[in-house]
Amino acid sequence: MAKTVLSVRDLVVEIPTRWGVLRPVDRVSYDIAAGEILGVVGESGAGKSMTGNAVIGLLDRPAQIAGGEIWLGDTRIDSLRGEPMRKLRGRRIGMIFQDPLTSLNPLLTIGDQLTETILEHLPVTTAEARARAIAGLEEVGIPAARDRIDSYPHEFSGGMRQRVVIALALCAEPELIIADEPTTALDVSVQAQIISLLKRLCRERGVAVMLVTHDMGVIAEAADRVAVMYAGRLAELGPVREVLTRAAHPYTAGLMASTPLASQGRERLRQIPGSMPRLGQLPEGCAFHPRCEIAQDRCRLGPSPHIEDGSGRASCWYPLHNMEKEDA
């Protein structure tokens, strides 16, 4: 087993509001090993982006980490603030945003943006930083990088810009990449390219990747393991094959049934009835029980137990296949 790069333990993110405290992330735990891609899926508002922002320390106020631990290698980073956290960002954790059209500064050349990041984190001269920047652009597949480095972002297409964004996230050689919906804003053909680029970089460099997306196709294509989030909680976590083909949590099963597959006929897609509850109105017990077909009384009363088998775990009283039960 490869070395664990990121370890999140019982992470809680809270937003204090006038009407009470909201918990967009509620006791979430997972690990990511070097060279591994962990997919994090869920509907909008399930807390998947919030988890990523908490790890890199970029939660928008008033959201804050209210509990749990985040370990990056041997460093505990959830308690870091200010300067130490800033030095970590870009250097040890890189981040890729959703929309490549807006995540590059339009008034600076991509070379400027690359070299400033490299010079900020690595002890190199300006000339070395520039050479590294060119190498980085070549690595992510920008043709004629030496000529293109002094171009402005608007001179690139969307897919090329996302490559530049990836080069920027990687340029100080971080151990962990948080990719927040990296393909959502791109054309389908470009999506595939970006996904295979991420996979290649992850394998070659041994970077741990947290791939946040709502797209099951992207997960199936790219991720090694997948964490399914629902209403701020981790519903299920396990190897991709297993979760996709043999889901243990009824929500995951519903999510899979509602994903269209080209190979299937033109049946009506199944829907999960209802919608995800808003954070202020979470039901007692398992957050999914109002929409769950197999929910029983005890699902409504208390938190559901964490159950585990060899490679995966789920949080459910009635998993769809047998797993060992652990104490709730």
Partner 1 sequence: MLAYVIRRVFQSAIVLLIVGLVAFAMFRFVGDPVDNMLGQERTQADIERLRDRLGLDLPFPVQYWRFLQEAAQGNFGLSYRQGRPVSDILIERAPATLELAAVSGVLALFVGIGLGVFTAIRRRGTAANLIMTVSLIGVSLPTFLIGILLIYLFSVELGWLPSFGRGEVVDLGGWTTGFLTISGLKALILPSITLGLYQMTLIMRLVRTEMLEVLRQDYIRFARARGLRERSVNFRHALKNTLVPVITITGLQLGSIIAFAIITETVFQWPGVGLLFINAIQFVDIPVMAAYLMLISVMFVGINLIVDLLYFAIDPRLRVDRTGGGGK
In the window 161-190, what residues touch partner 1 (CB under 8 A)?
165, 168-169, 172
The reply to whether 99 sits near partner 1 by the rule CB under 8 A is yes
Q: Tokens for 28? A: 């979430």
Rounded to an integer, what distance in angstroms lies between the CA atom of residue 18 and that of residue 6? 34
Helix axes 126-139, 110-121, angle to 10 degrees: 120
The reply to whether 58 sits near partner 1 by the rule CB under 8 A is yes
| CA distances to 207, 252, 316 from 184, in Å | 22, 21, 30
Q: Which stretch binds partner 1 (CB under 8 A): 36-44, 123-131, 141-149, 286-294?
A: 141-149
| Contact between residue 36 and residue 209 where contact means Cβ atoms under 8 Å apart | yes
- Residue from the set 120, 128, 173, 308 that interacts with partner 1 by CB under 8 A: 120
The reply to whether 90 sits near partner 1 by the rule CB under 8 A is yes
The reply to whether 69 sits near partner 1 by the rule CB under 8 A is no
Number of residues forming the site for partner 1 (CB under 8 A): 38
CA proximity to 237, closest of 17, 4, 8:
8
| Contact between residue 61 and residue 53 where contact means Cβ atoms under 8 Å apart | no
Q: Which stretch binds partner 1 (CB under 8 A): 9-17, 149-157, 190-198, 247-255?
A: 149-157
The SS3 of residue 207 is coil
The reply to whether 148 sits near partner 1 by the rule CB under 8 A is yes
Rounded to an integer, what distance in angstroms lies between the CA atom of residue 290 and that of residue 282? 10
- Residue from the set 31, 43, 116, 308 that interacts with partner 1 by CB under 8 A: 116
The reply to whether 2 sits near partner 1 by the rule CB under 8 A is no
- Residue from the set 115, 117, 162, 304 that interacts with partner 1 by CB under 8 A: 117
- Residue from the set 3, 86, 203, 278 that interacts with partner 1 by CB under 8 A: 86
Closer residue to partner 1 in complex, CB, 112/128: 112
| Contact between residue 169 and residue 96 where contact means Cβ atoms under 8 Å apart | yes
Q: Tokens for 154? A: 């608007």
The reply to whether 107 sits near partner 1 by the rule CB under 8 A is yes
Would you give the distance in Å from CA 198 to the centre of its chain?
13
The reply to whether 103 sits near partner 1 by the rule CB under 8 A is yes
CA proximity to 272, closest of 284, 259, 286, 261:
259
Binding map of partner 1 across residues 184-223, x = CB under 8 A, - = no contact: ----------------------------------------
Residues whose CB falls within 8 Å of the CB of residue 16, separated by 6 or more in sequence, listed in order: 22, 62
- Residue from the set 3, 76, 87, 325 that interacts with partner 1 by CB under 8 A: 87
Least distance from C-beta 175 to partner 1, angstroms?
Answer: 14
The reply to whether 108 sits near partner 1 by the rule CB under 8 A is yes
Q: Which residue has tokens 């990747």?
A: 209
Rounded to an integer, what distance in angstroms lies between the CA atom of residue 95 and that of residue 297? 42
Residues that bind partner 1 in the complex, under the rule CB under 8 A: 56, 58, 86-91, 94-95, 97-99, 102-109, 116-117, 120-121, 144, 147-148, 150-152, 154-156, 165, 168-169, 172
